[in-house]
Amino acid sequence: MSKYLLNKFLFMVDRDPELVERYRDEPRELVAWWEAEHANTVLNCHTGEASTWLRFDDVEREALATHDHVKLFELGAHPFLTLTLFIALFERDNTEPLEYQKSYGARLAHFSMPYPDIAT
Amino acid sequence: MASIVAVIASTHHPFYYRASTATGEDRPPFADEWTRKILAFRETLTRARPDVLVMVGSDHFHQLWLDNMPQFLVGKAPFYDANWYNEEREFGLPRMLLKGQEDLSGHILRAGLDAGFDLAFSNELRIDHSITCPIITLRPEADLPIVPIYTNIFAPPLPQPKRFVQLGQTIREIVESWPSHLRVAVIGTGHLSLELGGPRQFGPHGPDPEFDRRAVEWIANGDLDGCLREVTLDSLHSPGNATHGFMDFMLMMGVAGAGVKADYVDTLDLFHTMEAYFTWYPNGAPA
């Protein structure tokens, strides 16, 4: 299991407007493409050096492919990264202020302290 | 030597800019009171007539990332571009450009290293809302040179709370030993109880009003002993999963000094989180 790689996906998609839209519209395809093309990118390297060992396990891949933010929380993905990206994906559908943000919290109501560990 | 003319600690609420500039139906009901409080808070900095701002904040996974994460980092650059695409998207924050005070950055780095803090540095730093929010609230002209200092309150493992306090105390000594006649304000932002991406987020108040009440008391009274006795890396999980940002308030208590009461204290109970504003005048309140 790689909390780091989950976070890396959320981090890289969140900062790219085109990827945000692709993730909203076609999450499964975007996750597969990103894992194949970018999971091993070393972010501070401007040439072709890349890592060789990073991949999602099946549970992680499925959580991302189904926009399952509750599972991502359970897996220990960084809650700030998940929240920020998911607001970008779904806040636009709000019919009243903070509607998505509140329902996002409500879907996590079954978690009690301590929350899943987010240390990487 | 330089003088510290004001020490300021506050929350950094990214929704202030949008709330305070909204008009008509878009203007939220709390915007007028919030703006009044911010204008009064701003006056506490204006009165101190600063020349330079040391700005303590925390990058929110914008430039600093898990492949290379510093615990404490000092910017040393002639300019700092500011705010990020996802902050424009979510909060409506404007792009900004701030001048840097490189001489003070260099002094803080050298003296900090010599004082036992192995500070990271950056010569090209794009800063985020933890520093631009207090610029917007306290100095919207954005005309003073800054030294940004980032702390890691975000990506565990984190430094211990006492380390934040010690860094604040050291920053105080270092700035006061800067061979300059300039007037420096040290401004830092953090959080009271806060939940982000968890079940307690976006409630009618902050997730733990009792923690907020005690935290405001600790800060207003400079009660570092009481605060350090109760606050640990573990204990900060329970008021809300993003409450480790409170350690930047503890850093600012270190700058202000143990047992030193704040000269100005104000709070605002908002949805999601409580706002809190503190100012100390180390050389006495300006006339």
**What is the tens place of the pLDDT at every residue in B178-215?**
999 999 999 999 999 999 999 999 999 999 999 999 99
Query: For position A47, what pLDDT does the model report?
Result: 75
* B74 vs B150: CA distance, rounded Å: 6
Query: For position B203, what pLDDT does the model report?
Result: 93
Query: For position A45, what pLDDT does the model report?
Result: 84
Query: Is B84 near chain A, with CB under 8 Å?
Result: yes
- Could A98 and B202 be called an inter-chain contact, meaning their C-beta atoms sit closer than 8 Å? yes
Q: To the nearest whole angstrom, how far is the Cα of B29 from the nearest Cα of chain A?
A: 13
**What is the tens place of the pLDDT at every residue in B80-114?**
999 999 999 999 999 999 999 999 999 999 999 99
Which of A13-17, A46-50, A95-99 has the highest average model confidence (pLDDT)? Answer: A13-17
Residue A46 has pLDDT above 90, yes or no: no
How is chain B split into domains, by residue range? 3-280
Q: What is the DSSP string of B37-85?
A: HHHHHHHHHHTT--SEEEEEE---SSS--TTS--SEEEE--SEEEE--H
Query: For position B68, what pLDDT does the model report?
Result: 95
Question: What is the helix (H) or strand (E) element at residue A82, kind and residue range?
Answer: helix A79-90
Mutation to test the B interface, candidates A18, A85, A101, most B Cβ within 10 Å: A101
- Could B241 and A79 be called an inter-chain contact, meaning their C-beta atoms sit closer than 8 Å? yes
Dihedral angle, C-alpha B216, B221, B226, B228, nearest 10 °: 70
Peptide bond into B286 cis (omega under 30): no
Query: For position A48, what pLDDT does the model report?
Result: 81
Q: A44 pLDDT band (50/70/90 cuts)?
A: confident
Query: Is A42 near chain B, with CB under 8 Å?
Result: yes
Q: To the nearest whole angstrom, how far is the Cα of B109 from the nearest Cα of chain A?
A: 23
Q: Are A44 and B67 in contact (CB under 8 A)?
A: yes
Query: For position B287, what pLDDT does the model report?
Result: 81
Instruction: Provide the residue type at B235 as one letter.
Output: S
How is chain A split into domains, by residue range? 3-106
Contacts of B66 in chain A (CB under 8 A): 4, 7-8, 120
Q: Please, what is the end-to-end C-alpha distance for chain B in angstroms?
A: 22
Other C-beta atoms closer than 10 Å to the C-beta of A119 total: 10
**What is the pTM assigned to this prediction?**
0.97
User: What is the percentage of chain A residues whose pLDDT exceeds 70?
Assistant: 99
Q: How confident is chain B (287 residues) per 10-residue block, as mean pLDDT?
A: 98 96 95 98 98 98 96 98 97 97 98 98 98 98 98 98 98 98 98 97 96 98 98 98 98 98 97 96 93
Q: Which of B251, B266, B242 is nearest to B193 (CA)?
A: B242
Query: Is B157 near chain A, with CB under 8 Å?
Result: yes
- Could B68 and A11 be called an inter-chain contact, meaning their C-beta atoms sit closer than 8 Å? no
* B111 vs B203: CA distance, rounded Å: 43
Peptide bond into B157 cis (omega under 30): yes
Residue range B3-280 forms a domain whose CATH class is alpha beta
ipTM of the complex as predicted: 0.95
Q: Which of A4, A84, A111, A61 is nearest to B155 (CA)?
A: A4
Contacts of B156 in chain A (CB under 8 A): 118-120
Tokens representing residue A63 in the block: 């959580």
Q: A1 pLDDT band (50/70/90 cuts)?
A: low
